[in-house]
Amino acid sequence: MPIPIRKIFWSLLAVSALLAAAHLWVTLAPPISPTGFRYDALISAFNLEGEANIPNWFSIVLLVCVALASLVIQKLRRAAGGVKPRWNFFWPVFAVTFLVLSLEEAARLREVLYHTLFNKAINYVYIPFGLALVALCSFYFFLIERQDRALQRWIIGGLVLFVIGGLGGAVFDAGTLLKEWLEMVGVILVLCGCLREINVLAGEG
């Protein structure tokens, strides 16, 4: 039975939109009881400005799922013969990259570095990393996997959105909500691209 890619995509996109709406709710109209009690726990759970919140947890789960799906792709490709042997390293590297990104998201390292070193951390670490990731994946998908246009659209499109969101604070003055939502949508696209590739390799695509 094939993985229902489009159903998963629209479901995850709906969840990300609800989380974005929840952030707007707790920041623009914080919930307060008739007696004047402020629901701080609820506010912090959905406020993207905080360090520990439900949207952050959702992003971590998405990143880990991409890493796991990439390992499944590597296993299926190896069983099927895969592409040129010298490119067998791509999917494990892709998996490790997203696992590291999930750990970074869990620690909110980018925010810590940004508030302590300001733009230096973004300029000297994240911009080169983001550009290198997009360049490597573009080379792989446009040259090595050039025949698979759908896979290119899912993963390259997702990576571009993810990088734009991640670099939003350094390159352009984007609000926290826009940056975080672009990152979530980008990872959703990448995940769906990986799931589609699993379907193809399993003969279900």
Cβ proximity of 192 and 8 under 8 Å: yes
36: left (phi over 0), alpha (psi -120 to 50) or beta: left
Residues with Cβ within 8 Å of 204's Cβ and at least 6 positions away in sequence, in order, are 1, 2, 3
pLDDT computed for residue 21 by the predictor? 92
Half-sphere exposure of 66 (CA within 13 A, CB side): 30
Residue pLDDT, tens place only, 102-111: 887 776 665 5
Pick the closest to residue 68 from 38, 103, 95, 104 (CA basis). 95
pLDDT computed for residue 103 by the predictor? 83
Per domain, the residue ranges of the chain are 5-201
Go through 135-163 and write b for each residue having 16 or more CB atoms within 10 A of its CB, e for each that does not.
Answer: eebeebbeeebeebeebbebbbebbbbbb
Half-sphere exposure of 70 (CA within 13 A, CB side): 22
pLDDT computed for residue 95 by the predictor? 94
Alpha-carbon distance of 18 to 32, in angstroms, equals 20
Distance of CA 174 to the CA centre of its chain: 17
pLDDT computed for residue 146 by the predictor? 73
Q: What radius of gyration do the chain's Cα atoms show?
A: 19
pLDDT computed for residue 83 by the predictor? 56
Structure pTM? 0.84
How many Cβ atoms are within 10 Å of 13's Cβ, its own excluded?
15
Residues with Cβ within 8 Å of 188's Cβ and at least 6 positions away in sequence, in order, are 9, 12, 13, 16, 62, 158
Q: CA dihedral in degrees (46, 48, 52, 57; nearest 10)?
A: 80
Cβ proximity of 185 and 161 under 8 Å: yes
Q: Which amino acid is at 64?
A: V
Mean pLDDT by 10-residue block, N- to C-terminus, for the chain (205 residues)?
92 95 86 69 80 86 95 86 68 90 73 56 67 83 77 88 74 69 94 92 74
